[in-house]
Structure 1
Amino acid sequence: MKTLDVQFALKDLGKLHYILGIQVYYTESGLLMNQSKYMDDLLHKLHMTDVKPMPSSSAVKRVLWYVNGTKHFGIYFQPSPTLTVSAYSDADWASNLDDRKSVAAYCTFVGNNIVS
Protein backbone atom coordinates (compact mmCIF):
# COMPACT_ATOMS: atom_id res chain seq x y z
CA MET A 1 0.00 0.00 0.00
CA LYS A 2 2.87 2.36 0.67
CA THR A 3 3.96 2.13 -2.96
CA LEU A 4 0.45 2.94 -4.15
CA ASP A 5 0.16 5.70 -1.56
CA VAL A 6 3.00 7.56 -3.25
CA GLN A 7 0.95 7.82 -6.45
CA PHE A 8 -2.62 7.93 -5.02
CA ALA A 9 -4.28 9.17 -1.84
CA LEU A 10 -5.22 5.97 -0.02
CA LYS A 11 -6.96 5.19 3.25
CA ASP A 12 -7.10 1.74 4.90
CA LEU A 13 -10.75 1.09 5.75
CA GLY A 14 -10.07 -2.27 7.39
CA LYS A 15 -11.62 -5.58 6.40
CA LEU A 16 -14.12 -5.60 3.57
CA HIS A 17 -17.70 -6.33 4.68
CA TYR A 18 -19.93 -5.08 1.86
CA ILE A 19 -19.25 -3.97 -1.72
CA LEU A 20 -21.39 -3.72 -4.86
CA GLY A 21 -24.27 -5.66 -3.32
CA ILE A 22 -22.00 -8.46 -2.05
CA GLN A 23 -21.56 -9.22 1.64
CA VAL A 24 -18.30 -10.71 2.90
CA TYR A 25 -18.17 -12.95 5.99
CA TYR A 26 -14.83 -14.01 7.46
CA THR A 27 -14.28 -17.43 9.06
CA GLU A 28 -11.20 -19.08 10.56
CA SER A 29 -10.57 -21.03 7.36
CA GLY A 30 -11.57 -18.52 4.66
CA LEU A 31 -14.38 -16.21 3.66
CA LEU A 32 -17.92 -16.48 2.33
CA MET A 33 -19.43 -14.04 -0.15
CA ASN A 34 -23.18 -13.76 -0.83
CA GLN A 35 -25.86 -11.25 -1.83
CA SER A 36 -28.40 -11.78 0.95
CA LYS A 37 -28.66 -8.06 1.86
CA TYR A 38 -29.09 -7.11 -1.80
CA MET A 39 -31.84 -9.73 -2.16
CA ASP A 40 -33.56 -8.58 1.03
CA ASP A 41 -33.49 -4.97 -0.22
CA LEU A 42 -34.88 -6.02 -3.62
CA LEU A 43 -37.70 -8.08 -2.09
CA HIS A 44 -38.53 -5.20 0.30
CA LYS A 45 -38.64 -2.70 -2.58
CA LEU A 46 -41.07 -5.00 -4.44
CA HIS A 47 -43.19 -5.58 -1.29
CA MET A 48 -42.41 -9.30 -1.43
CA THR A 49 -40.53 -9.82 1.84
CA ASP A 50 -43.09 -12.38 3.04
CA VAL A 51 -43.25 -14.32 -0.23
CA LYS A 52 -44.24 -17.93 0.45
CA PRO A 53 -43.32 -20.96 -1.68
CA MET A 54 -46.33 -21.62 -3.89
CA PRO A 55 -47.04 -22.27 -7.56
CA SER A 56 -47.31 -19.08 -9.58
CA SER A 57 -48.04 -18.37 -13.20
CA SER A 58 -45.71 -15.36 -13.19
CA ALA A 59 -42.12 -16.15 -14.10
CA VAL A 60 -40.92 -13.08 -12.19
CA LYS A 61 -42.65 -14.24 -9.01
CA ARG A 62 -41.12 -17.70 -9.42
CA VAL A 63 -37.64 -16.19 -9.73
CA LEU A 64 -38.17 -13.96 -6.67
CA TRP A 65 -39.51 -16.94 -4.70
CA TYR A 66 -36.34 -18.85 -5.64
CA VAL A 67 -34.14 -15.86 -4.72
CA ASN A 68 -35.83 -15.58 -1.33
CA GLY A 69 -35.16 -19.25 -0.60
CA THR A 70 -31.50 -19.18 -1.67
CA LYS A 71 -30.36 -15.68 -0.65
CA HIS A 72 -27.95 -17.02 1.97
CA PHE A 73 -26.15 -19.27 -0.52
CA GLY A 74 -22.74 -17.96 -1.53
CA ILE A 75 -19.25 -18.71 -2.72
CA TYR A 76 -16.67 -19.85 -0.19
CA PHE A 77 -13.01 -18.91 -0.64
CA GLN A 78 -10.16 -20.41 1.34
CA PRO A 79 -6.41 -19.86 1.33
CA SER A 80 -4.66 -21.95 -1.30
CA PRO A 81 -0.99 -22.95 -1.34
CA THR A 82 -0.73 -22.12 -5.05
CA LEU A 83 -2.28 -19.69 -7.49
CA THR A 84 -2.49 -22.20 -10.33
CA VAL A 85 -5.23 -21.35 -12.82
CA SER A 86 -7.30 -24.33 -13.98
CA ALA A 87 -10.26 -24.29 -16.36
CA TYR A 88 -12.79 -26.97 -17.27
CA SER A 89 -15.44 -26.92 -19.96
CA ASP A 90 -18.10 -29.17 -21.40
CA ALA A 91 -20.37 -28.95 -24.43
CA ASP A 92 -23.28 -30.96 -25.71
CA TRP A 93 -23.85 -30.20 -29.38
CA ALA A 94 -27.46 -30.26 -30.62
CA SER A 95 -28.49 -32.92 -28.13
CA ASN A 96 -32.03 -31.62 -27.57
CA LEU A 97 -34.11 -33.55 -30.10
CA ASP A 98 -36.89 -30.93 -30.05
CA ASP A 99 -34.94 -27.81 -31.01
CA ARG A 100 -31.36 -29.10 -31.68
CA LYS A 101 -29.90 -26.41 -29.39
CA SER A 102 -26.44 -26.86 -27.96
CA VAL A 103 -25.45 -26.42 -24.33
CA ALA A 104 -22.02 -25.36 -23.10
CA ALA A 105 -20.59 -24.55 -19.66
CA TYR A 106 -17.24 -23.79 -18.06
CA CYS A 107 -15.63 -23.06 -14.69
CA THR A 108 -12.30 -21.51 -13.79
CA PHE A 109 -10.34 -22.00 -10.57
CA VAL A 110 -7.48 -20.05 -9.01
CA GLY A 111 -5.89 -22.49 -6.60
CA ASN A 112 -8.79 -24.35 -4.96
CA ASN A 113 -11.28 -21.48 -5.41
CA ILE A 114 -13.78 -21.12 -8.23
CA VAL A 115 -13.72 -17.66 -9.78
CA SER A 116 -15.95 -18.04 -12.85
Structure 2
Amino acid sequence: MSMMGELSYFLGLQVKQSKEGIHLSQTKYAKELVKKFGLDGAKDFDTSMGTSNKEFGVNVEGQSVDEKQYRSMIGSLLYLTASRPDIAFSVGICARYQANPKEVHLKAVKRIIRYVKGTTAYGLWYLMGTSLDLIGYSDADWAGSADDRKSTSGACFYIGHCLVAWHSKK
Protein backbone atom coordinates (compact mmCIF):
# COMPACT_ATOMS: atom_id res chain seq x y z
CA MET A 1 0.00 0.00 0.00
CA SER A 2 1.31 3.44 -0.84
CA MET A 3 0.30 7.02 -0.05
CA MET A 4 -1.03 8.64 -3.22
CA GLY A 5 -1.97 12.05 -1.83
CA GLU A 6 -5.02 13.61 -0.28
CA LEU A 7 -8.31 11.76 -0.71
CA SER A 8 -10.60 13.58 -3.16
CA TYR A 9 -13.08 10.90 -4.28
CA PHE A 10 -14.30 7.83 -2.40
CA LEU A 11 -17.16 5.42 -3.25
CA GLY A 12 -18.95 8.01 -5.38
CA LEU A 13 -18.51 10.79 -2.83
CA GLN A 14 -16.46 13.89 -3.48
CA VAL A 15 -14.24 14.63 -0.48
CA LYS A 16 -12.99 18.16 0.20
CA GLN A 17 -10.65 18.56 3.15
CA SER A 18 -9.72 21.83 4.82
CA LYS A 19 -8.46 23.06 8.18
CA GLU A 20 -12.08 23.52 9.31
CA GLY A 21 -13.18 19.98 8.48
CA ILE A 22 -14.29 17.59 5.74
CA HIS A 23 -17.12 18.11 3.24
CA LEU A 24 -18.68 15.07 1.55
CA SER A 25 -20.90 15.63 -1.48
CA GLN A 26 -22.11 14.13 -4.74
CA THR A 27 -21.97 17.35 -6.76
CA LYS A 28 -20.84 15.69 -9.98
CA TYR A 29 -23.51 12.99 -9.72
CA ALA A 30 -26.21 15.56 -8.92
CA LYS A 31 -25.36 17.56 -12.05
CA GLU A 32 -25.37 14.40 -14.17
CA LEU A 33 -28.75 13.37 -12.71
CA VAL A 34 -30.33 16.73 -13.62
CA LYS A 35 -28.95 16.47 -17.16
CA LYS A 36 -29.94 12.79 -17.53
CA PHE A 37 -33.61 13.62 -16.98
CA GLY A 38 -33.56 16.71 -19.19
CA LEU A 39 -34.14 19.28 -16.47
CA ASP A 40 -30.88 21.21 -16.82
CA GLY A 41 -32.76 24.12 -18.44
CA ALA A 42 -35.62 24.11 -15.92
CA LYS A 43 -36.10 26.67 -13.16
CA ASP A 44 -34.84 25.70 -9.69
CA PHE A 45 -37.09 25.15 -6.68
CA ASP A 46 -36.27 26.41 -3.18
CA THR A 47 -37.78 23.33 -1.52
CA SER A 48 -37.92 19.66 -2.50
CA MET A 49 -41.64 19.33 -1.76
CA GLY A 50 -44.62 21.59 -1.20
CA THR A 51 -46.28 22.00 2.17
CA SER A 52 -49.57 20.47 1.04
CA ASN A 53 -49.32 16.94 -0.31
CA LYS A 54 -52.98 16.30 -1.01
CA GLU A 55 -52.06 14.96 -4.44
CA PHE A 56 -50.58 11.87 -2.83
CA GLY A 57 -52.89 9.04 -1.92
CA VAL A 58 -54.14 5.60 -2.90
CA ASN A 59 -56.98 6.74 -5.14
CA VAL A 60 -55.22 9.40 -7.20
CA GLU A 61 -56.84 10.18 -10.53
CA GLY A 62 -54.86 11.08 -13.61
CA GLN A 63 -52.85 9.77 -16.50
CA SER A 64 -50.40 6.96 -15.78
CA VAL A 65 -46.77 7.63 -16.66
CA ASP A 66 -43.88 5.44 -17.80
CA GLU A 67 -43.06 3.23 -14.79
CA LYS A 68 -39.53 2.51 -16.02
CA GLN A 69 -38.61 6.19 -16.23
CA TYR A 70 -40.27 6.94 -12.88
CA ARG A 71 -38.37 4.12 -11.18
CA SER A 72 -35.14 5.28 -12.78
CA MET A 73 -35.68 8.76 -11.37
CA ILE A 74 -36.47 7.38 -7.91
CA GLY A 75 -33.43 5.08 -7.96
CA SER A 76 -31.14 7.91 -9.00
CA LEU A 77 -32.48 10.14 -6.24
CA LEU A 78 -32.20 7.35 -3.65
CA TYR A 79 -28.50 7.01 -4.52
CA LEU A 80 -28.10 10.75 -4.00
CA THR A 81 -29.54 10.52 -0.47
CA ALA A 82 -26.22 9.01 0.68
CA SER A 83 -25.00 12.58 1.11
CA ARG A 84 -28.28 14.50 0.92
CA PRO A 85 -30.54 13.97 3.95
CA ASP A 86 -32.49 17.06 2.86
CA ILE A 87 -34.19 15.08 0.08
CA ALA A 88 -34.57 11.70 1.82
CA PHE A 89 -38.12 12.29 3.08
CA SER A 90 -39.42 13.69 -0.23
CA VAL A 91 -37.87 10.85 -2.23
CA GLY A 92 -39.32 8.31 0.22
CA ILE A 93 -42.82 9.73 -0.26
CA CYS A 94 -42.53 9.55 -4.05
CA ALA A 95 -41.01 6.04 -3.93
CA ARG A 96 -44.30 4.71 -2.52
CA TYR A 97 -45.98 5.14 -5.91
CA GLN A 98 -43.60 3.17 -8.15
CA ALA A 99 -46.16 0.45 -8.90
CA ASN A 100 -48.62 2.82 -10.59
CA PRO A 101 -47.20 6.35 -10.90
CA LYS A 102 -49.46 9.12 -12.14
CA GLU A 103 -48.64 12.51 -13.67
CA VAL A 104 -48.93 14.16 -10.27
CA HIS A 105 -46.26 11.82 -8.85
CA LEU A 106 -43.94 12.45 -11.80
CA LYS A 107 -44.40 16.18 -11.30
CA ALA A 108 -43.36 15.79 -7.64
CA VAL A 109 -40.24 13.80 -8.59
CA LYS A 110 -39.29 16.41 -11.17
CA ARG A 111 -39.69 19.07 -8.48
CA ILE A 112 -37.16 17.21 -6.32
CA ILE A 113 -34.73 17.06 -9.25
CA ARG A 114 -35.21 20.77 -9.90
CA TYR A 115 -34.48 21.40 -6.21
CA VAL A 116 -31.31 19.30 -6.54
CA LYS A 117 -30.36 21.40 -9.58
CA GLY A 118 -30.21 24.52 -7.43
CA THR A 119 -28.41 22.79 -4.55
CA THR A 120 -25.83 20.56 -6.26
CA ALA A 121 -23.08 21.57 -3.83
CA TYR A 122 -25.05 20.49 -0.74
CA GLY A 123 -23.57 17.64 1.25
CA LEU A 124 -22.38 16.64 4.69
CA TRP A 125 -19.97 18.85 6.63
CA TYR A 126 -17.86 17.30 9.39
CA LEU A 127 -16.13 19.95 11.51
CA MET A 128 -12.72 19.39 13.05
CA GLY A 129 -12.54 19.45 16.82
CA THR A 130 -16.23 18.84 17.41
CA SER A 131 -17.35 17.13 20.59
CA LEU A 132 -18.02 13.40 20.57
CA ASP A 133 -21.43 13.66 22.24
CA LEU A 134 -24.03 11.43 20.61
CA ILE A 135 -27.33 13.28 20.14
CA GLY A 136 -30.48 11.81 18.63
CA TYR A 137 -33.84 13.24 17.62
CA SER A 138 -36.99 11.44 16.51
CA ASP A 139 -40.59 12.23 15.67
CA ALA A 140 -43.73 10.54 14.35
CA ASP A 141 -47.09 11.73 13.06
CA TRP A 142 -49.07 8.98 14.83
CA ALA A 143 -51.26 7.48 12.09
CA GLY A 144 -51.18 10.61 9.96
CA SER A 145 -51.95 8.83 6.68
CA ALA A 146 -55.65 9.07 5.87
CA ASP A 147 -55.34 6.15 3.40
CA ASP A 148 -54.05 3.40 5.69
CA ARG A 149 -53.79 5.04 9.15
CA LYS A 150 -50.06 4.26 9.30
CA SER A 151 -47.55 6.53 10.97
CA THR A 152 -44.56 8.19 9.38
CA SER A 153 -41.56 8.39 11.66
CA GLY A 154 -38.10 9.82 11.34
CA ALA A 155 -34.88 10.12 13.28
CA CYS A 156 -31.48 11.74 12.96
CA PHE A 157 -28.31 11.23 14.95
CA TYR A 158 -25.36 13.55 15.43
CA ILE A 159 -21.90 13.18 16.86
CA GLY A 160 -21.33 16.68 18.14
CA HIS A 161 -22.75 18.94 15.46
CA CYS A 162 -22.14 16.46 12.62
CA LEU A 163 -24.99 14.40 11.17
CA VAL A 164 -23.97 10.75 10.96
CA ALA A 165 -27.25 8.85 10.45
CA TRP A 166 -30.84 9.60 9.42
CA HIS A 167 -33.97 7.61 8.78
CA SER A 168 -37.56 8.16 7.67
CA LYS A 169 -40.15 5.40 7.34
CA LYS A 170 -43.87 4.90 6.93
TM-score normalised per structure 1 = 0.69
Structure 1 counterpart of 2:143: 94
Aligned-partner residue type, residue 113 of structure 1: C
| Count of aligned positions | 105
Give the drift of 1:81.
Answer: 5.0
CA distance in 2, matches of 1:65, 1:39: 10
Give the drift of 1:37.
Answer: 0.7
Does residue 10 of structure 2 align to residue 22 of structure 1?
Answer: no
Does residue 40 of structure 2 align to residue 49 of structure 1?
Answer: yes
RMSD: 2.6
* Percent identity for Structure 1 against Structure 2: 35
Give the drift of 1:31.
Answer: 2.0
Structure 2 counterpart of 1:67: 116
Give the drift of 1:66.
Answer: 1.7
CA distance in 2, matches of 1:62, 1:23: 24
- In structure 2, relative to structure 1, the CA distance for the partners of 1:44 and 1:94 (3 Å cut) is closer
- In structure 2, relative to structure 1, the CA distance for the partners of 1:20 and 1:48 (3 Å cut) is farther
Structure 2 counterpart of 1:108: 157
Which is strand-richer, 1 or 2? 1
Give the drift of 1:80.
Answer: 3.3
When Rg is computed on C-alpha atoms for both structures, the one with the higher figure is: 1
CA distance in 1, matches of 2:144, 2:37: 39
Give the drift of 1:78.
Answer: 0.6
- In structure 2, relative to structure 1, the CA distance for the partners of 1:79 and 1:43 (3 Å cut) is same
In structure 2, list runs of 5 or more residues that go unmatched: 46-102, 166-170
Which is helix-richer, 1 or 2? 2
Q: Deviations over 1:1-51 (max 9, x none)?
A: xxxxxxxxx222222212233212223311222211111122333443323
Give the drift of 1:84.
Answer: 3.4
In structure 1, list runs of 5 or more residues that go unmatched: 1-9
CA distance in 2, matches of 1:76, 1:53: 23
Contact 2:19/2:128, CA 8 A, preserved across alignment: no
